[in-house]
Structure 1
Amino acid sequence: MRQFNISGKILALSIVLLFGLSIGGSMIIGYWRTESSKIPTRIEGGPFAGAYDPAAIKGSYTFKDIESAFKIPVTQLAEAFAFAVSGEPETTQPKSFEAYPQPVEGEVGTDSIRLFVSLYTSIPYEAEEDTRLPYSALALLRREGKIDEERWAELKDRYGVEMGSPSGMSEAPTSESGSILEIKGNTTYGQLFDAGLTAATIEEVIGIKVGNRDQAIKDHLEAEGLEFSQYKALLQEKVDNVQKGGN
Structure 2
Amino acid sequence: AVSSASSWLDNAENELVSGPVLLSDDSETHLGHLESLSKEVKNVSEEVCKCRYVLGETEQVWDGESGESVLVEEVLNGLEERMQLLDTVLEQRCDTMKDKLQELTVFQTELRLLLTALSDSKYQLLQKMNAAMDRPASKQMEILAEAEDSLREFEQKVSEMRSRGETLQPNQLCTQELLKLQDAYEELVEMVGSKRSGLNQSLVLKAQYERALQDLVDLLDTAQDKMAADQKMKVGSEIEVQILLVKHK
Q: Please give the range of the TM-score, normalised by the shorter of the 2 chains.
A: under 0.3
Using the size of structure 1 for normalisation, the TM-score is 0.22
Relative contact order (C-alpha < 8 Å, sep 6+): which is higher? 2
- Structure with greater Cα Rg: 2
